Structures are given as structure tokens and as C-alpha cells.
Chains A and B, each alone.
Chain A
Amino acid sequence: MSLASELLQYLLSGLTMGGIYALVALGFVIIHNVTGIINFAQGEFVMLGGMFMVTLVGAGVPTVPALVLSVILVMIVVGIMEFGAIRSAKRASPVSLVIITIGLSTAIRGIALLVWGTNPYRLEPFTAGGPIHIGGATIVPQSLWVIGTTAAVLALTFFMFEYTYWGKALRACVVNKFAARLMGINPQKMSLFAFVFSAALGALAGIVIAPITYVTYDMGLMLGLKGFVAAVMGGLSSTPGAVIGGIALGVIESLGAGLVSSGYKDGIAFIILLLVLFLKPGGIFGTFGSKRV
């Protein structure tokens, strides 16, 4: 295998994981922008999406309805969570709320352990068929699903923020929360909306990645942290930054694992996090759209 095809291989697998990180990071950024909270339960949304999907498919539900149902289930769980744990503590400072989300993530993981146990679950790929060869590198069809889903979701998110009235109200909340309130925009409603929307993003990520990585009760921890790193790389308040950060993190990780050692795969993400925080706390892409309000 030549170096070029090897690099292409790392790039392709990096893009796959990068798409997942981007979806998780986007969830972080949307919630942070609207509410000021860093939601450390974001990774658990991914796990829940995967788990619901595996369970439903295992129960004989066809892929597409199972996918839709899983996403809706996660949205409901997160909606209840926002209502019960975040809103009821509305007087708390953002820092306390962040700690609440850490507690929630531990709780969700604990419940998942009780329900699903420690075994990894496998989900069949969405489409059958062997790996596809591109210029000396191979890619499994499920990776294409991941990349395609990511692209579609990003396009949808962009459309929502740019062209729908709800999206604009959400952006108004981000740009100037005080003025948004004076327009009658209810910040609580927007907070619920942000959480539920991020839940859908996370659940989708968990579902499309399930056939590649298996689903375990504790997969959310690492995915959540990686998504957070990606969001920080993008400046924590910029949606394009989160997407680029996610994809960049996936590719760097994959290159590092391939060229240096796969043992350092997770370490690389956290080295990047430290480097970004030390050297460019505003995010690598802090120049565009990462204005904090």
C-alpha cells in the first residue's frame, strides 16, 4: 500500500468519525449559544440514540421507522430532562447548570447500564454489500451513510437557522438575548427547543455510527468529550466552526493513529484541546462568527 493510498484511507476514516464529532459539537454549540450552558450530557444523547435503535431493530422494527422512532424517543427523554432538571433550576448560575448536566450524564449512563448491561450491541449496516474501493483505499458503505447523514443534517440546520421563522427567533436569542425577550421571545421555550434539537442531532449520530463502532452503555462519555473538543476548536459559539472542528478532529485523530500509533488516538484529541485552550482560547476559527454575546 503506497503512502498516498494510506493517507487517503486515513482521510476517509477520519471523515467518518469527523462527521459524528461534528454532529455532537453542533449540539454543544446550539445549546451553549441559546442558554449559555455547556451540556455535558450531549454524548449520552448519542448513546441513547444508538441503544434505542439497536433495541427497536432487535424487536423487528424495519430500519427507517426504527430510526425515526429512536430520534423521537431521545427527543422526548431530553425534553423531559430539560423540563425537570434544567428549567426547575432556572435561578442557578450557568456553572451550576453545567454541573447539573454532568450529573444527568452520569445518571443516564447508570440507567443505560441497568437497562442494557455492559455488552456491546451490534447493528447491521443500513445497506448490505462489501467495502468500496477508491484509489487504493477502502470504505464501508456505512461510512457513506455517516458522511451523507452529516451533510444532510448540516444542510437542514443551516436552512432552519437561515430561512425559518423559528430559526431566526433562535438566532435572535443568540445575538441579543435581552432584545429577544423584549420581542416576546420566551427564553425557556428557546432553551427547550435547543435541547430537543441537539438531542435529535446526537441521536442521529449514535444511530448512523452504531453499525461501525458497536453500541455500549458508556460510548457517550468519549464521544461527548470529543464533540466538546471539536466545539472548542470551533470557538464554542460558531456553528460552522463546530462542523469544521469536528471534521478536522476526526481527520487529525485518524492520521495520528495511523501514522504514529493507534494507542495515542484518544490522547490526540485532548492534546488538541489543551493546545487550543492555551494558544487560541477563542477557537482556531475564532475569526468568523464566533462572537460571544
Chain B
Amino acid sequence: MLRVVKLDTYHGRIRVLQNISLNVEKGEIVTIIGANGAGKSTLLGTIAGVYRPKSGQIYLGTKQTSCLPTEKVVKEGIILVPERREVFDSLSVIDNLKLGAYHRYRADKKTIDSDIENVLSLFPALQGREKQLAGTLSGGEQQMLAIGRGLMANPKVLLLDEPSIGLAPLVVKEIFDILLSLKKRGTTILMVEQNARAALKVADRAYILERGAISLAGKARDMLQDTRVQTAYLGARLHA
């Protein structure tokens, strides 16, 4: 479904991503794990068209999306839910959701209302609060709104950047439960996470990103057992 081939991205003269290749199949949850500054957000940003890659290609299906501007990438069906939510805080919950469908609003006017209901059914915490300003929601609720807003675009691939960052453990669990129910509905997800354990538990496959390059790839289940991953990202101690 989504295929990234030999991607290089620079911020100015600094090479942030080196030779990244990965793929995400339809209906999968794939997670990218890595430390701060490993280039995770840059990778998602490049796929979403926020940053231009220096070389390499990104394909959605057979269509190449690398070097398209963000609004065209969105039209193709790649939607990024950014780090720190970035909801429209002085607009209402319902307006946030409506704007999520911006790229298909004219074509799908009639179905928008039922789509909103559909999305809200995933997030009980947001139900009945449609008129509330997004900025007055709690962090977890804002994250749900940001995901809901992304879903409103009918994405072929949903990119999630640190969906659990800054949230209380209980809320983190709630968010990951939502991701699992999204998977059941067939949504394809590529997710970047620092909370490696939680991410690996819901994901099908994982990539480890180290200093801008992929150092390990495999099934999420196997990664949870991998000693290198355990020591570096899951907080396990090596026994002497």
C-alpha cells in the first residue's frame, strides 16, 4: 500500500534521514520506534509532504507521492496526525472534524454528517461535546479529536506522530485501544512512538530508527522478545 524507497531528507545541510526503505500493507499497523532526534517525525513529515526528500521515492499504491505538496498528498489519501495534536483550539469539536474532511468536502457534502457520527462513535469521550471549543478539551481528548479529524479525511494510510506523548497511562491505554478498533475496521496505520512497549503490543510490524537510518525491521511480536530492543527501548537490564 505505502512504499518508501531509499529516502534521504535534509534539514538544511544536515542529513536527517539516510536511505530509508519501508512498506506498509493494507490493514496493517506498522510502528517506527526510535529515540529522541532519531528522525521519526521527519520521516512522517516527509511522507506527508511537509518536507521534501532530497532523493528516494514514496509510493501510495502505484502512484508516486514524493515531492507533491501536502495538500496533494492529502488528496491522495495520506493523512498525518501531527505530534502535539495541533487541533484548531478556538474552533469547536464539530468544526475540527468538518475541516478534517476539507479535501473531499465538495464531493461528499451529503455524507459528511453521517461520517462525523461514525467517527464520533469511536470516541465516546467526545460525544455530546460537539459544540465545545477544542482548546478546552483535555490532552487525551484533544488527541482523540486529532485522530478523529484525520479519519474524517477518509485516509488510505493514517500517519500518527507520537499519539501517546504527554498523556496519562490510563489515557494512553485508551488511545491504543482505539487504534486496535481502527485496525478492526481496516484502517492502515503507520505510527511513530516513543512508548515502544505499548506500540509494539498493538502493531503488526515495526522498524527501529537510529540516527536517521533503519537498524532493525521485523514482526512486532519478535521485537518484544529481541534482547537488543529490550535493552535499548523497553527498559530491560542485561544480566551480567
Which residues does A use to contact B, with CB under 8 Å?
A: 165, 168-169, 171-172, 175-176, 178-186, 289, 291
Contact = CB atoms under 8 A, between A and B. Distances in A.
29 contacts: A165-B98, A168-B91, A168-B98, A168-B99, A169-B99, A169-B102, A171-B88, A171-B90, A172-B99, A175-B88, A175-B89, A175-B90, A175-B91, A176-B87, A176-B88, A176-B89, A179-B86, A179-B88, A181-B50, A181-B71, A182-B48, A182-B50, A182-B79, A184-B70, A184-B75, A185-B71, A186-B69, A289-B90, A291-B90
Contact of B99 (A183, A289, A291): A183
A185 B74 CA distance: 9
Interface in B50-95: 50, 69-71, 74-75, 79-80, 82, 86-91, 95
A289 B89 CA distance: 12
A165 B105 contact: yes
B140 interface: no
B70 A181 contact: yes
A171 B80 contact: no
Contacts, number: 63
Contact of A182 (B74, B75, B89, B95): B74
Interface string B139-156: 000000000010001000
Interface residues of B, number: 25
B153 A172 contact: no
Contacts of A180: 88, 99
Given A168-B98, A169-B99, A178-B82, A184 B88 contact: no
Contacts of A165: 98, 105
Contacts of A171: 88, 90-91
B71 A186 contact: yes
Contact of B82 (A182, A289, A291): A182
Given A184-B71, A184-B103, A172 B82 contact: no
Given A171-B90, A184-B70, 11 more contacts: A171-B91, A172-B99, A176-B86, A176-B88, A178-B86, A182-B50, A182-B86, A183-B74, A183-B103, A184-B74, A185-B99
Contacts of A289: 90
A291 B133 CA distance: 15
Contacts of A175: 88-91
A131 to B, nearest CB: 44
Nearest to B149: A183
Contacts of B163: none
B100 interface: yes
A172 B91 CA distance: 8
Contacts of B95: 168, 172
B132 to A, nearest CB: 15
Q: Ordered nearest first, which 9 A-B pairs have the shortest CB separation?
A: A184-B74, A184-B103, A179-B86, A175-B88, A184-B71, A186-B71, A183-B102, A181-B70, A184-B102
Contacts of B103: 183-184
B43 to A, nearest CB: 15
B30 to A, nearest CB: 20
A184 B153 contact: yes
Interface string B203-216: 00000000000000
Contacts of A168: 91, 95, 98-99
Contacts of B90: 171, 175, 289, 291
Nearest to A168: B95
A180 B100 CA distance: 9
Given A171-B91, A184-B70, A184-B75, A179 B102 contact: no
